A and B are shown apart, each in its own frame.
Chain A
Amino acid sequence: MAWQILASGWDLMDREIFFRAGLAIIGSAMLIAIFAPFLTAYAPDEFCGMPLSEPSSDHLLGTNDLGQDIFSRLIYGTRATLIIGFLGALIGVATGTLIGTVAGYYGGRTDEVISRFMDVMMTIPAFPLLLVLSVLLSPGIYVISLLMGLLGGSHSGRVIRSQVLSIAETNHILGSRALGLSDAYIMARHILPNIMPLITVKYVFSAQAFMLMGVGLGFLGIGDVSVIDWGQMINHAYSSGAFALGMWWWIGPPGLAVTVLSIGLAMIGFGLEERLNPRLSHRNVEATA
């Protein structure tokens, strides 16, 4: 009986509500990132309190081992996380769209070559490669975003290629070619708008993945030390023995923050996907054969 109430409650929590909640979360995060100075009492690098003190009214999340206010660092850290996520996803999806569209549109030899390339890119483990490259380049957040985007472009590239392949054969496109319109024009003006929904969904999920990876990389000690990064906060906590001391106010918040953002993006992504691809939605029980 209770199970039924709970389950029907879930059903009420429609994808639509999820979607809006997700937007609210990400929207708030963006606002927090922009208005960080107004939301915090201290500068994030300021040595403003007793080291390792617990949360109090002065310091909402206590202080770290250098006496810096954790709450401020958390707020300011939103910026790096969002930048890595959104910029990385932008580069990734742009790359994927470019090679996927070219492959799907031209077909034949071009498609074969590009597809092989994408296959190889997807087989080579991107994360370990990223680690190797980071030793070589000692990258800041922008270069990290670039690397992640380029390495991850093939994922979106594959899916986009499939869709473009099916669109490219439609009468609409064939007609445009017959009219003598240039390939670049057709790809930009006719094909691109049709795959926009797919691109958007891919962008949201990529942003989620890259955001998580970015914080993860910060945790591993890769990243710009001059930039405040949630991952680096966790790393700092880890190497200061905060785990053993159970200092949850230092270890917890950065991880929690990125988790919340990740959930927000996931809700947006799934909400969009439901709207755009009803075949996989939970409502459709009809057999398609």
Chain B
Amino acid sequence: MKSLRNNYFFKRITYCLLVFVISMSITFAVLHLMPGNYIQSLLPYLADINPEFSELFKAKFGLDRPIIEQYLMYLSNILQGNWGYSFQYGAPVLDVITEKLVWTLIIILPATILSVLAGIAIGAYSGWKNGSNTDICLLNTMVFVGAVPSYWWAIMAILVFSYSLGLFPLGGFVSLDALFSGINPIDVLHHALLPILVLTLSSIPGTYYFMRNSMLMTLGEGYILTARAKGVQERDILRHHALKNAMLPMITIVSLQCAHMITGSIFIETIFSWPGMGLLTFDALSARDLPLLEGIFLMDTLVVIAANFVADILYGVADPRVRVGSHG
């Protein structure tokens, strides 16, 4: 049994590497396909801000060597953590990204937790009461809520809560007082609240829909009937039989949703001026800072790969059919 599982892990890891290599190849290709000898014209910009980095760039990426060598140097550079230099900030790309990543996580993690709890709870309830008026009501509501793009929720939130009602700040992560009194966590929280709420709201319909489907599939299984035949109470059937099984596929769904939020937070962060990876992406786009954009792309790929991997492991732990295997 051990060898079977080790084999599986080996396959997964190879797959992850393959995806990352492909991503790196894409970024390499784009960098070199840029018209007008992009890199050569990039260097003067970089040299303006930080001449040291400009030289490092040239040397480490071997810009005067043949293309194959450049490719291999590029791959080894990326794997070592040298992702190039942003000419906007004149700093190593990876450093810039990781600094901002933390801020993104500050709003993503609470949003993930909230939307997962809400989505699973409402979805499970809807599936359990499937066919009832409540279920239909919820389903239809979720269709509407899910059809609204995240940027619309963000725009509405700012217009209504920040501008009209003045309950929340118009953006940013701290108010001007911070210049004088330092960063106050409560203040940051105040600023984070609307982005978190908007992120949560846009993710709930997806989670709801999948959980509801999972619950419906589970309810059609034979062991639910067996539990009823045993005389088990409805709420115990829900808790011990239905939920346990319906939650399993959600492991994968939730990991992917989290990854999706991280890679897709650009609109919300931009509208709320929240200094995370999303806003970084927006600025990089405006400045056409390709090394930085590519770094963000690679980081996003890593996030998705990691999410898939984590989901696989968790699933392996949670589902006894995978964990234990059969002794016959």
Which A residues lie at the B interface, using CB under 8 A?
4, 6-8, 10-11, 13, 18, 119-120, 123-125, 127-129, 131-136, 208, 212, 215-216, 219-222, 234, 238, 243-244, 246, 248, 251-252, 255-256, 258-259, 262-263, 265-267, 270, 280, 282-285, 287-289
Contact = CB atoms under 8 A, between A and B. Distances in A.
B281 interface: yes
Nearest to A245: B163
Contacts of A263: 144, 147-148
20 contacts: A7-B134, A7-B136, A10-B136, A11-B136, A125-B259, A125-B297, A125-B304, A129-B26, A129-B297, A131-B281, A132-B30, A132-B290, A219-B267, A246-B164, A255-B149, A266-B144, A267-B143, A270-B143, A287-B225, A289-B221
B34 interface: yes
A128 B300 contact: yes
Contacts of A136: 30, 33-34, 290
Contact of A258 (B149, B221, B263, B294): B149
B136 A208 contact: no
Interface string B143-163: 110111101100110110001
Given A123-B301, A287-B224, A287-B225, 12 more contacts: A125-B297, A129-B26, A132-B27, A132-B294, A135-B290, A220-B266, A243-B158, A243-B170, A255-B151, A258-B149, A282-B139, A285-B130
A177 B293 CA distance: 50
A132 B293 contact: yes
The 5 closest A-B pairs by CB, nearest first: A7-B133, A266-B147, A246-B163, A128-B297, A125-B300
Given A246-B159, A270-B143, A262 B304 contact: no
A252 B163 CA distance: 13
A212 B18 CA distance: 31
Interface in B8-63: 15, 18-19, 22-23, 26-27, 30, 33-34
A234 B155 CA distance: 10
A120 B263 CA distance: 17
Contacts of B270: 219-220, 238
B5 interface: no
Nearest to A130: B297
A221 B286 contact: yes
Contacts of A127: 263-264, 266
Given A124-B301, A289-B220, A222 B148 contact: no
B315 interface: no
Majority DSSP secondary structure for residues of A touching B: helix
Contacts of A266: 143-144, 146-147
Contact of B155 (A7, A13, A252, A289): A252
Contacts of B297: 125, 128-129, 131-132
The bracket for how many chain B residues form the interface is 35 or more
Given A125-B263, A220-B266, A251 B159 contact: yes
B140 interface: yes
A129 B29 CA distance: 12
A134 B266 CA distance: 15
Interface string B284-310: 011010100110110011011100100
B219 A221 contact: no
A246 B166 CA distance: 11
B129 to A, nearest CB: 10
A202 to B, nearest CB: 16
Contacts of A120: 18-19, 22
B285 A222 contact: yes
A262 B146 CA distance: 9
Contacts of B156: 255
A159 to B, nearest CB: 14
A255 B288 contact: no
B320 interface: no
B64 to A, nearest CB: 22
A258 B130 CA distance: 31
B252 interface: no
Contacts of B34: 135-136
- Among B26, B134, B155, B297, which residue has the most Cβ atoms of chain A within 10 A? B155
B300 A252 contact: no
B245 interface: no
Contact of A135 (B221, B266, B285): B285
B130 A282 contact: yes
A120 B26 CA distance: 13
A124 B22 CA distance: 9
B196 interface: no
A244 B171 CA distance: 9
A252 to B, nearest CB: 7
B151 A219 contact: yes
Contacts of B148: 259, 262-263
A133 B285 CA distance: 11
A124 B159 CA distance: 35
B33 A259 contact: no
B30 A133 contact: yes
B135 interface: yes
